């Protein structure tokens, strides 16, 4: 994962989970999640959205002030507390 730190993207390898838990910090790694962000039996599939065009999100979920979307182009974008992360390719970008 790349994390925005002092205005620059800093690389952090082997990130098991990404969290946004503060308005003061960008999205950052969580090393001790141990599956704590998964509901028993696994997370349900995201509901599909009937989008108006190719650039609108294909899947979206909002919970407790956080919003996550997956676009038709395959990018995942999550935001909360004024911060977020996105992933389109092998390395997520936190901001």
* pLDDT value of residue 84: 92
Locate the domains of the chain by residue range. 2-28+46-94
| Model pLDDT for residues 27-78, shown as the tens digit of each residue | 888 888 776 777 777 777 777 777 666 667 778 888 888 888 888 778 889 9
pLDDT at 53: 66
Query: In this model, does residue 13 exceed pLDDT 90?
Result: no
β pairing state of 93-94 and 2-5:
parallel
User: Model confidence over 16-39: pLDDT tens digits?
Assistant: 888 898 899 888 888 887 767 777
Residue 73 per-residue DSSP state: T
pLDDT value, residue 52 = 60
pLDDT of residue 79: 93
β-strand 93-94 against 83-87: which pairing, if any?
antiparallel
């Amino acid at each position: 994962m790349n994390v925005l730190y002092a205005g620059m993207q800093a690389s952090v390898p082997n990130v098991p989970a990404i969290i946004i838990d503060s308005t003061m910090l960008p999205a950052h790694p969580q090393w001790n999640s141990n599956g704590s962000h998964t509901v028993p039996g696994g997370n349900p599939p995201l509901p599909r959205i009937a989008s108006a065009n190719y650039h609108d999100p294909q899947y979206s979920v909002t919970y407790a002030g956080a919003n996550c979307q997956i676009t038709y182009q395959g990018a995942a974008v999550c935001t909360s507390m004024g911060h977020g992360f996105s992933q389109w390719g092998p390395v997520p970008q936190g901001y």
